[in-house]
Amino acid sequence: MPLVAHSDLPTFARLAEEGETVLSGNLALQQEIRELHVGLLNMMPDAALRATERQFFRLVGQSNQIAQFYMHPFTLDALPRGEEGRAHVARYYETFDQIKRDGLDALIITGANVTESDLSLEPFWEPLIQVIDWACENVTSTLCSCLATHAVMQFRYSQKRQPLGFKRWGVYPHRVLDRRHPLVSGVNTRFDVPHSRFNQIHRSQFEGQGLKVLAESEVAGPHLAVSEDGLRLVFFQGHPEYDIISLLKEYKREVRRFAAGAIDVYPPFPEHYFTLRTQAILDEHRERVEAALARRAPVPELPEALIASSLDNTWHDSAEAVINNWVGIVYQLTHIDRRLPFKDNVDPANPLGALRETS
CA distance 50 to 124: 19
Residue among 53, 88, 146, 174 flagged as catalytic:
146
- Residue 302's nearest CA partner among 264, 276, 271, 266 is 266
CA distance 43 to 147: 10
Rounded (10°) angle between helices 276-295 and 246-259: 20
**Cβ-based neighbours of 189, under 8 Å, separated by 6 or more:** 175, 176, 179
Q: Is 37 a catalytic residue?
A: no
Residue among 241, 254, 285, 320 flagged as catalytic:
241
Task: Report the Cα 261 to chain-centroid distance in Å.
Answer: 32
Three-state SS at 356: helix
Three-state SS at 187: coil
- Contact 181/226 with Cβ under 8 angstroms? yes
**Alpha-carbon dihedral sign for residues 35, 41, 45, 46:** positive
- Residue 233's nearest CA partner among 161, 172, 310, 153 is 153
Q: Where are the alpha helices (DSSP H) in the chain?
A: 10-17, 25-30, 46-63, 83-92, 96-102, 125-138, 147-157, 203-208, 246-259, 276-295, 304-308, 316-333, 352-358
Residue among 37, 174, 239, 285 flagged as catalytic:
239
CA distance 352 to 182: 9
Q: Is 136 a catalytic residue?
A: no
Task: Report the Cα 270 to chain-centroid distance in Å.
Answer: 19
CA distance 178 to 176: 6
Q: Is 239 a catalytic residue?
A: yes
CA distance 321 to 214: 14
Please list the active-site residues.
146, 239, 241
